[in-house]
Amino acid sequence: MKSRQLSLTILLIAFVTLFSALNSCNNNDGGGTDIAAANADSIKKVVERGKYLAHHVSMCMDCHSHRDFNQFSGPPIEGTEGMGGEIFGEKLGVPGTIFSRNITPDTVNGIGNWSDEEIVRAVTRGISRNGDTLFPLMPYPHYNGMSKDDIYSIVAYIRTLKPNNNKVPVRKLFIPMSMAYPPLQSLSPDDNIKPDVSDMVKYGAYVMNSAGCMDCHTPMDKGQFVMSKYMAGGRVFDMETFKVTTANITPDSATGIGSWTEAMFLDKFKNYRDAAAYKTNPGKLNSMMPWVMYAGMDDFDIKSIYRYLRTLPAINNKIEKYPQQN
């Protein structure tokens, strides 16, 4: 019965597609224009969803643009979106030096000539167009857990970026990547991996995974995450102008965010929607956490992350965010 329903659905979709294709050929027909407009509208929605994810959840535009650390949390510099070239070296646990790549549609130095499938393979499985395994600081292990719709909407959006001909240097790694990090499986053909919003905890886990919070908030030892300290903070970012340790965001009330209400958590993010909160040079009290970009996340998505964080084991792990100040 189920498979019959499915084939009926497919038939229906095929019919609707054919109908709209036929109609859009005939522009004199009022109905056709409606359908063409509806199609344009749905493409616009897909691109908007991709933009939302790339700028405010999955942070593509954080690492693949240049950040201005003369402002709090280093918001991306306008005009650099997607051009790549940010350096990630040994201080961040990279065995060598890697650079975020140019992901604008430039056909020479960007990904203008890549097919959608090639981009999706790089973003979700860490395999570049030439077959190289990407270093997992590019958070493809997380993006592998995103729904197809979300991933393709990001691809649709990055195709609309202004082409930038920035040539990114070649990475230098001391270990062969394909041996250290076996590539991941293709995206699940089941597109329903995105939980329904009615289950805020599950949906929050999905959003948090898409947002890569774990990579900064879980400490690492010899290139591996210490899962017994999941979300308990303690990674140190030693930047040129400041040094900051990631916070404990488990529900521990003494050393984590156990005493924070949902409203406090939401307000902490919403605070950075106001330019006054970040457009001053914070000097040594800066943060690696891209607060200004995350501030653009929907209230609902932020609250869902909070609900999910509440379900984690409380871990006692005292953090000094700025030890050199005390």
**Out of 120, 134, 156, 293, the residue judged to bind ligand HEC by CB under 6 A:** 134
Shortest approach of ligand HEC to residue 242 CB, angstroms?
10
Nearest Cα to Cα of residue 268 among 237, 282, 289? 289
C-beta of residue 43 within 8 angstroms of C-beta of residue 35: no
Residue 154's contacts (CB-CB under 8 Å, 6 or more residues apart) are: 50, 53, 54, 58, 60, 123
C-beta of residue 106 within 8 angstroms of C-beta of residue 165: yes
Range in contact with ligand HEC (rule: CB under 6 A) among 16-24, 118-126, 186-194, 219-227: 118-126
32 or 247: CB nearest ligand HEC? 247
**Out of 287, 308, 315, 317, the residue judged to bind ligand HEC by CB under 6 A:** 287
d(CA 2, CA 101): 44
Shortest approach of ligand HEC to residue 316 CB, angstroms?
14
Q: Angle 223-227-230 (CA atoms, 0-180°, nearest 5)?
A: 110
- In the structure encoding, which two tokens stand for residue 127, read together? 């395999």
Shortest approach of ligand HEC to residue 6 CB, angstroms?
30
Residue 6's contacts (CB-CB under 8 Å, 6 or more residues apart) are: none
CB atoms within 10 A of CB 45: 11
23 or 127: CB nearest ligand HEC? 127
1 or 276: CB nearest ligand HEC? 276
**Applying CB under 6 A, does 321 fall inside the site for ligand HEC?**
yes
**Applying CB under 6 A, does 152 fall inside the site for ligand HEC?**
no
Q: What is the x/- site pattern for ligand HEC, positions 291-320, by CB under 6 A?
A: ---x----------x---------------
**Applying CB under 6 A, does 64 fall inside the site for ligand HEC?**
yes
State the residue for tokens 């030890």.
323
Q: How buried is residue 221: exposed, middle or buried, by Cβ count under 10 Å (0-12/13-18/19+)?
A: exposed
**Out of 23, 55, 106, 119, the residue judged to bind ligand HEC by CB under 6 A:** 119
**Out of 67, 76, 98, 266, the residue judged to bind ligand HEC by CB under 6 A:** 98
d(CA 14, CA 276): 51
φ, ψ of residue 196 to 5 degrees: the values are: -70, 145
**Applying CB under 6 A, does 103 fall inside the site for ligand HEC?**
yes
Range in contact with ligand HEC (rule: CB under 6 A) among 12-20, 119-127, 181-189, 270-278: 119-127
Using CB under 6 A, list all residues that contact ligand HEC.
54, 58-60, 62-64, 88, 98, 100-101, 103, 111, 119, 122-123, 128, 134-135, 137-139, 143, 154, 158, 171, 211-213, 215-217, 237, 244, 246-247, 249, 257, 268, 287-289, 294, 305, 321
